Structures are given as C-alpha cells and as structure tokens.
C-alpha cells in the first residue's frame, strides 16, 4: 500500500490479557517508530527501529511492553498483562531515513483495556 498500515484498528482486551499490534511501514522506509497517544494529548514516543535494530526503547513505560522488527519491515508491539492505563491509541510511523525526514503515520490501533 501507499501508506503505513496498522492492524487491528480497534482492540478490546480484558485486564491481564496479552495483545499484539502490527505495523506495516511504507516499503523501503528504514526508520520505524511507535508512539502512544492518550486522549486529548500529543503522541508520546515509545521506541525506534533502524531496519531490524531497536536503537531506542527509552519510551516504553514498563517491561510489559515489547517491540520487534525481525526482518526490518513489519513491526509488532506486544503488551503483556494489559492494565487499564494501557488504554490509548498506538501509532506507528516510518520514514525514509532518520535525518530530518518527516514521519508518516498510520491510523493507529485504539486499545481499550476493560
């Protein structure tokens, strides 16, 4: 596709369940970012990949959050033992390179933990 694709668009999980969120970046984009967006707030950085290497995971809120990009294209964000405070929109973004290139965002996955 022409843009960043994320699935599922919506996910409802019961507290304690594990979830996996998928991101298909724009083909050829080296850099991939995950952001978390709470209601009424701007996106907050979670983690960054350059190809398959996870170069920055300083934004992950706890060790329940894990991200991977094993082949340098598709990425998965996994949240274990979900908590209510994990409810948010999870945005994936990619860019051609990581030097002053705009990030192109997907439409996100809205996670609701009940």
Partner 1 sequence: GESVGLHLPTLSVQEGDNSIINCAYSNSASDYFIWYKQESGKGPQFIIDIRSNMDKRQGQRVTVLLNKTVKHLSLQIAATQPGDSAVYFCAENRNDRGSTLGRLYFGRGTQLTVWP
Chain centre to alpha carbon of residue 43:
11
Collapse the DSSP code of 86 into the 3-class scheme (helix H, G, I; strand E, B; otherwise coil) and give the result.
helix
Burial of 54 (0-12, 13-18, 19+ CB in 10 A): middle
Q: Does position 28 bind partner 1 by CB under 8 A? A: no
Q: Does position 97 bind partner 1 by CB under 8 A? A: yes
Cα–Cα dist 48/78, whole Å: 14
Q: Does position 33 bind partner 1 by CB under 8 A? A: yes
Give me the 36-65 binding string for partner 1, x by CB under 8 A, dash otherwise. ----xxxxxx--x------xx-x-------
Q: Does position 102 bind partner 1 by CB under 8 A? A: yes
Give the footprint of partner 1 on this chain (CB under 8 A): 4, 31, 33, 40-45, 48, 55-56, 58, 91, 93, 95, 97-108
């Amino acid at each position: 596709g022409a843009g960043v694709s994320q699935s599922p668009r919506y996910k409802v999980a019961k507290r304690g369940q594990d979830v996996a969120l998928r991101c298909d970046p724009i083909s050829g984009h080296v850099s991939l970012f995950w952001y978390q967006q709470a209601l009424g707030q701007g996106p907050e950085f979670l983690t960054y990949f350059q190809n398959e290497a996870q170069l920055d995971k300083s934004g992950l809120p706890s060790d329940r959050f894990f991200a991977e990009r094993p082949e340098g294209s598709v990425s998965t964000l996994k949240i274990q033992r979900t908590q209510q405070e994990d409810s948010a929109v999870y945005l994936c973004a990619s860019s051609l390179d990581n030097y002053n290139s705009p990030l192109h965002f997907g439409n996100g996955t809205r996670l609701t933990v009940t």
